[in-house]
Amino acid sequence: MEVLQALAGSVDVLTFDHEQVPNRLLETLQSSGANVAPPPAAKLLAQNKLHARKVLGDMGFPVPPFAVAETPADIERFASHVGMPLMAKAATGGYDGRGVWTVSNLDEAADALNEAGGQLLLEPKLALECELAVLVARTASGHTACYPPVETVQRDAMCREIIAPASASPALIAAAEQLAVDVADQIGATGILAVELFVVGGELKVNELALRPHNSGHYTIEGCTTSQFEQHLRAVLDLPLGSTALCAPHVVTVNVVGSGATTPLRDRLVAALAVHGAHIHLYRKDDRPGRKLGHVTVCGSQAADVRAAAQRAAALLEGAEL
């Protein structure tokens, strides 16, 4: 704590790029006068899915039907209302589909309850038409700048592709932007807020929040006038926000996911670099199956070509023989 206090005393603002930073420490720093951005109370909404569902629902935002389960009887009660299958989620600590289980019966749900340590957020498995994500930057003075909503494509509950701009109807896009800005204002977010949305029956539901530069915003590095990382710093420092305009009609990011590839990384990188227009980012993580190891972004004018090129470069990095 002393080290953190000393750091806080020597800087204009404290921010972070990970939600698992303990709120207790941030609250102590904030109460001793440090400028913590985003504020710990807002950050908790990104850290605890159950807390977020309750708070956003109480604020009047559309959220999926949900229940908290701490016993098999709680699961049975919710299932008797909404049926099976259910999505069962750990309230905290989940990411990239870890801590998210699709359960088809009460036995599987009881296993998930054990694995989650005795508490679950339960939801019906919704028929998703698509998933959107909206990045919005908000300064401490309340200025906001919204990026074009993107479509996210998940496999095994993990985000694999980010397609900008989303091809949803103009009315849905406008509603998604308004919803994201309203959430940012209501929760007092500062910095980048990513709002993950479900589209169900033509309507938006808030899935998850992230209060930091987010995977769904990596496309902004090459794809927008101001990257989400620069924008986050502008926002937490209460500086003018940069343009969120796309630099090309279409921008696609494809995540590179560990596959246990055996060919040397250098060979895979050489192959991927030969894909025209591929911007490659590798995170220097050990290659473990199912782990995000990097991403590829491609910008261009033809939606299908841009997506195909990004998919091809990512597949080559994952070790595919193409």
Ligand X SMILES: Nc1ncnc2c1ncn2[C@@H]1O[C@H](COP(=O)(O)OP(=O)(O)OP(=O)(O)O)[C@@H](O)[C@H]1O
User: What are the residues binding Mg ion (CB under 5 A)?
Assistant: 196, 208
Q: Which is nearer to ligand X, 133 or 251 (CB)?
A: 133
Rounded to 10°, the helix 40-47/23-31 angle is 170
Residue 82 interacts with ligand X (CB under 6 A): yes or no: no
Residue 87 interacts with ligand X (CB under 6 A): yes or no: yes
Binding mask 125-154 toward ligand X (x if CB under 6 A, else -) reads xx-x--x----------------------x
The distance of closest approach from Cβ of residue 211 to Mg ion in the complex, given in angstroms and rounded to an integer, is: 13
Residue 74 interacts with ligand X (CB under 6 A): yes or no: no
Q: Which is nearer to Mg ion, 161 or 208 (CB)?
A: 208
CB 256 within 8 A of CB 301: no
Residue 121: strand pairing partners:
68, 89
Q: Site for ligand X (CB under 6 A): which residue of 94, 242, 258, 277? A: 94
* Rounded Cα–Cα distance for residues 51 and 54 (Å): 5
The distance of closest approach from Cβ of residue 116 to Mg ion in the complex, given in angstroms and rounded to an integer, is: 16
- Using CB under 6 A as the binding criterion, the count of chain residues that bind ligand X stands at 19
CB 192 within 8 A of CB 215: no
b vs e for 191-208, b when ≥16 Cβ sit within 10 Å of the residue's Cβ? bbbbbbbbbbeeebbbbb
Say which entry of Mg ion, ligand X, none residue 125 contacts (CB below 5 to 8 A, set by partner kind).
Answer: ligand X
Q: Site for ligand X (CB under 6 A): which residue of 21, 57, 95, 282? A: 95
* Rounded Cα–Cα distance for residues 138 and 147 (Å): 12
* Rounded Cα–Cα distance for residues 26 and 59 (Å): 24
Query: Phi and psi of 276, rounded to 5°?
Result: -60, 125
Say which entry of Mg ion, ligand X, none residue 128 contacts (CB below 5 to 8 A, set by partner kind).
Answer: ligand X
Site for ligand X, rule CB under 6 A: 64, 87, 89, 94-97, 100, 123, 125-126, 128, 131, 154, 157, 159, 196, 207-208
